[in-house]
């Protein structure tokens, strides 16, 4: 009987000790599991935030590209006008010269300004782009005034000595606007 009591006591203490160790091990397992869940939640949160940031960056880049697309359309129209005026300075065709003179007069009275449909987009252009646009305006006005003199007073083709250098300066300034915009977009030159 004593053996049975000793065995019962040992068995009872083993069960009690096993239960205590089991509870302690379960608590430890639960603590580890909680830490793993918290780490996983934190990593998931960071990954989600990184994803959202990447989407915002991509959307911002797309919006920036759209804004600079407006600038590209405007600079294309400006270049076309400058080229048309320059061509008229090179010809004796009276019709071309008269149309160019109208373009010159329009330019002098605001043709070199940002068109109304691009004003909202121009708010997003960088300070460097705005500076280049101002430099182009100054150079283009020099060209337009020289072209005006040629178109009004010089009736023979090829007598463009007053307009040639301002013409080249205007085109160079326009190229600098485009170059600056490409740099803003991260596009290779």
One-letter-per-residue 3-state SS of 47-95: HHHHHHHHHHHHHHHHHHHHHHHHHHHHHHHHHHHHHHHHHHHCCCCHH
pLDDT of residue 54: 55
pLDDT of residue 48: 46
35: containing domain: 2-185
- Mean pLDDT in order along the chain per 10 residues (189 residues): 64 65 64 66 58 54 78 92 92 90 86 80 86 92 91 66 89 94 79
CATH code of 75's domain: 1.20.1420
Residue pair 152/101 in contact by the 8 Å Cβ criterion: yes
Q: What is the pLDDT of residues 113-156, one digit of tens each?
A: 888 888 888 888 888 998 999 999 999 999 999 999 888 886 55
As for how many domains the chain has, the answer is 1
pLDDT of residue 66: 83
pLDDT of residue 178: 93
């Amino acid at each position: 009987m004593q053996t049975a009591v000793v065995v019962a006591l040992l068995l009872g203490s083993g069960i009690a000790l096993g239960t205590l160790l089991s509870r302690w091990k379960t608590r430890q397992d639960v603590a580890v599991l909680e830490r793993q869940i918290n780490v996983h939640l934190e990593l998931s949160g960071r990954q989600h935030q990184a994803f959202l940031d990447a989407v915002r960056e991509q959307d911002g880049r797309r919006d920036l590209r759209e804004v600079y697309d407006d600038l590209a359309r405007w600079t294309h129209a400006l270049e076309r006008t400058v080229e048309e005026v320059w061509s008229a300075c090179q010809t004796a065709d009276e019709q071309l010269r008269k149309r160019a003179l109208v373009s010159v007069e329009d330019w002098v009275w605001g043709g070199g300004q940002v068109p109304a449909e691009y004003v909202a987009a121009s708010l997003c252009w960088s300070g460097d782009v705005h500076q280049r646009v101002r430099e182009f305006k100054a150079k283009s006005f020099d060209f337009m005034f020289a072209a005006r003199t040629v178109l009004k007073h010089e009736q023979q083709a090829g007598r463009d000595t007053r307009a040639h250098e301002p013409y080249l300066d205007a085109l160079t300034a326009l190229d600098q606007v485009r170059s600056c915009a490409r740099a803003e977009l991260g596009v290779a030159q």
